């Protein structure tokens, strides 16, 4: 990162934030920048953050140091239902050929590789299902061998044993292209002039994964859609709607709102 890049990156973040607050009507309290990177005097003066770093002794200027070798990440949290609007604005503002989601690779995990190999070898799906259910998806195929039930099932069936042997060699390999959950890359020129790009279901994706983007001088931003922010916004809107018809909130109504909040919170955690 050179010294000329830092102001441009900071102003770009400011511009996105301002537009999100005005054009898209994103509530101020529901729009945050990554606190540990942008709680700085510059960010506060520009309105990127709304916490006074001098008042609360939160000085993290090292993250905006022009001498910093690597570029700082930029994370912005939005309401879950507003994320698509944010990305649409960025594409419209900077050009659809200059903005793309970041490609990732889905890999062959323990269960997935067993299913794929079993299908390729035309093994009975009932047997594959039984083996898959025995496997712990958080463990590798090698570690799963410590499970006596897995071991017994493999040794008593030659087809399953063959599937396991082949899967053992393929586990961990890249299986398919996917989209990064939050990452978006923004370029000053058309992305296909800098990196390969690909089309995934009508969506422009970088043709390389995120670990290569910084070395190529591209800006990576994380647009995070948080369900908790949407829940907060919904509750605030409910309170405003109630207050517009009633001057006072009773104890019963407070309890009612609290229960609703807990219900929505539990629901989001289970989704």
pLDDT in tens, 237-262: 777 777 776 655 565 666 676 677 66
pLDDT at position 77 over 50: yes
| Cα distance between residue 127 and residue 150, in whole Å | 12
pLDDT at position 11 is 65
| Cα distance between residue 169 and residue 173, in whole Å | 9
pLDDT, tens digit (0-9, with 9 covering 90-100), for 89-102: 888 888 889 999 99
Side-by-side strand order, sheet with 99-107: 32-33, 74-79, 219-226, 174-186, 99-107, 203-206, 197-200
Confidence of residue 43 (pLDDT cuts 50, 70, 90): low
Pairing of strands 74-79, 174-186: unpaired
In the predicted model, what is the mean pLDDT of the chain? Answer: 76
Q: Between 22 and 247, name the one with better pLDDT.
A: 247
Which of 240, 234, 221 has the alpha carbon at shortest distance from 261? 234
| Cα distance between residue 221 and residue 208, in whole Å | 15
Confidence of residue 200 (pLDDT cuts 50, 70, 90): confident
pLDDT at position 234 over 50: yes
* 257 CB neighbour count, 10 Å cutoff: 15
pLDDT, tens digit (0-9, with 9 covering 90-100), for 143-175: 999 999 999 999 998 999 999 999 999 999 999
pLDDT at position 102 is 92
Asked whether the beta carbons of 268 and 231 are under 8 A apart, the reply is yes
Least confident of 92-96, 120-124, 134-138: 92-96
Q: Between 202 and 98, name the one with better pLDDT.
A: 98
What's the whole-number mean pLDDT along residues 207-221? 83
pLDDT at position 113 is 94
Confidence of residue 201 (pLDDT cuts 50, 70, 90): confident
Q: Between 23 and 262, name the one with better pLDDT.
A: 262
The percentage of the chain sitting over the pLDDT mark of 70, rounded to a whole number, equals 66
Confidence of residue 7 (pLDDT cuts 50, 70, 90): low
pLDDT at position 3 over 80: no
Q: Between 66 and 119, name the one with better pLDDT.
A: 119
Least confident of 10-14, 25-29, 115-119, 177-181: 25-29
pLDDT at position 86 over 50: yes
pLDDT at position 93 is 84
């Amino acid at each position: 990162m050179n010294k000329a890049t830092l102001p441009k990156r900071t102003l770009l973040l400011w511009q996105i934030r301002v537009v999100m607050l005005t054009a898209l009507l994103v509530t101020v309290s529901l729009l945050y920048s990554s606190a540990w990177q942008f709680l700085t005097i510059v960010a506060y003066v520009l309105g990127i953050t709304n916490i006074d770093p001098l008042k609360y002794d939160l000085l993290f200027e090292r993250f905006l140091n022009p001498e910093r070798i690597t570029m700082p990440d930029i994370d912005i949290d939005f309401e879950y239902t507003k994320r698509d609007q944010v990305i649409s604005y960025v594409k419209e503002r900077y050009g659809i050929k200059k903005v793309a989601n970041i490609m990732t690779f889905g890999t062959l995990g323990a269960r997935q590789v067993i299913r794929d190999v079993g299908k390729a070898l035309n093994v009975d799906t009932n047997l594959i299902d039984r083996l898959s259910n025995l496997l712990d998806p958080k463990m590798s195929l090698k570690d799963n061998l410590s499970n006596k039930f897995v071991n017994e099932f493999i040794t008593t069936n030659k087809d399953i044993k063959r599937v396991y042997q082949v899967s053992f060699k393929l586990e961990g390999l890249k299986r398919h292209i996917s989209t990064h959950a939050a990452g978006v890359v923004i370029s000053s020129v058309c992305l296909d002039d800098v990196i390969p790009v690909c089309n995934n279901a009508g969506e422009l994706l970088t043709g390389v994964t995120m670990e290569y983007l910084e070395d190529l001088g591209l800006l990576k931003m994380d647009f995070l859609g948080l369900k908790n922010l949407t829940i907060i916004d919904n509750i605030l809107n409910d309170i405003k709607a109630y207050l517009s018809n009633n001057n006072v909130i009773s104890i019963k109504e407070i309890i009612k709102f609290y229960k609703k909040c807990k219900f929505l919170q539990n629901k989001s955690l289970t989704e």
